């Protein structure tokens, strides 16, 4: 305990899709609070992010909620301002927002779906970094963690999600090299198949039972045990945010049970 003691963290996407499992943003938020961080919880869904806040406070942690739409520049400009009003500095930024609804093959995807997925998954991350990193730069210290996906490097039957996550990795590299002289570390986590509420939505909409979906997804993971959970993402983020990773920047850390390493069938 205490790996993030007295750190100030902004977690974007700290709510989650309703479901019987915990999502990435909520797991990261709860774990960071357990490790001593004070957290600004950001999400477009105020009700959901307030649930995350309640969970943290029940465990004795400190967090507060802020509703924002990261596809809107003004919302992103306000995020660091509100955090500084509350805590006077920013040590950690976690960019967790991501969607895939409406994705399809190149010939089948609608321009509306393409734009929406790229707006949330990539443009939103650019905008939060645009306004938060300059505040880290003033103190010449900070850690930025971008939640990417193994989809960035794996074969995928859909196009927009893959392209957006490949863009996240490229953005991570560019930011890491630009701000390394200022002591700011920027890394990404390439998640694999996880048993989270968001992962099941479109499958269930097709009328497939949840346990069947789990079995299919488990079978695609090379590592014994099948899918990971949001806690796997959270512990990876905790390491990258902590001083234990003080000499690590510009990495794309696979948390995927070997999925992105598999070559061939």
Rounded to 5 degrees, φ, ψ at 29 are -60, -50
- Whether 179 is catalytic: no
Cα 150 from Cα 169, distance rounded (Å): 10
Its sign, for the CA torsion 136, 137, 141, 147, is: positive
DSSP state of 120: I
Its sign, for the CA torsion 20, 232, 201, 126, is: positive
Q: Which of 24, 82, 81 is nearest to 52 (CA)?
A: 24
Measured CA distances, 188 to 143, 152, 167 (Å)? 11, 11, 11
The catalytic position among 87, 131, 161, 179 is 161
Cα 65 from Cα 6, distance rounded (Å): 18
Cα 215 from Cα 212, distance rounded (Å): 5
* Contact in structure between 236 and 149 (CB atoms under 8 Å): no
Alpha helices in the chain (DSSP H): 24-34, 46-58, 73-87, 111-118, 124-139, 160-179, 197-205, 210-219, 230-241
Q: Which of 74, 78, 61, 1 is nearest to 26 (CA)?
A: 61
- The residue assigned the tokens 């969970």 is 55
Q: Which of the residues are catalytic?
A: 161
């Amino acid at each position: 305990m205490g790996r993030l003691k007295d750190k100030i963290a902004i977690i974007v996407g700290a709510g989650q899709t309703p479901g019987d499992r915990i999502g990435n943003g909520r797991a990261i938020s709860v774990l960071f609070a357990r490790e001593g961080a004070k957290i600004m919880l950001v999400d477009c869904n105020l009700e959901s992010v307030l649930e995350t806040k309640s969970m943290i406070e029940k465990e004795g942690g400190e967090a507060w909620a802020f509703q924002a739409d990261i596809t809107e520049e003004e919302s992103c400009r306000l995020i660091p301002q509100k955090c500084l009003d509350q805590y006077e500095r920013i040590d950690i930024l976690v960019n967790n927002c991501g969607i895939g609804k409406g994705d399809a093959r190149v010939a089948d995807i609608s321009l509306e779906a393409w734009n929406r997925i790229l707006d949330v998954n990539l443009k939103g991350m650019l905008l939060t970094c645009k306004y938060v990193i300059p505040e880290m730069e003033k103190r010449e210290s900070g850690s930025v963690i971008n939640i990417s996906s193994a989809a960035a490097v794996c074969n995928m039957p859909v196009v927009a999600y893959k392209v957006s996550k490949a863009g996240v990795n490229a953005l991570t590299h560019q930011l890491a090299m630009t701000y390394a002289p200022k002591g700011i570390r920027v890394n990404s986590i390439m998640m694999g198949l996880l048993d989270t509420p968001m992962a099941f939505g479109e499958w269930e909409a097709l009328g497939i039972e949840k346990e069947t979906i789990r079995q299919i997804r488990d079978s695609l993971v090379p590592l014994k045990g099948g899918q990971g959970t949001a806690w796997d993402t959270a512990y990876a983020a905790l390491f990258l945010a902590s001083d234990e990773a003080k000499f690590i920047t510009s990495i794309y850390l696979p948390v995927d049970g070997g999925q992105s390493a598999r070559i061939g069938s």
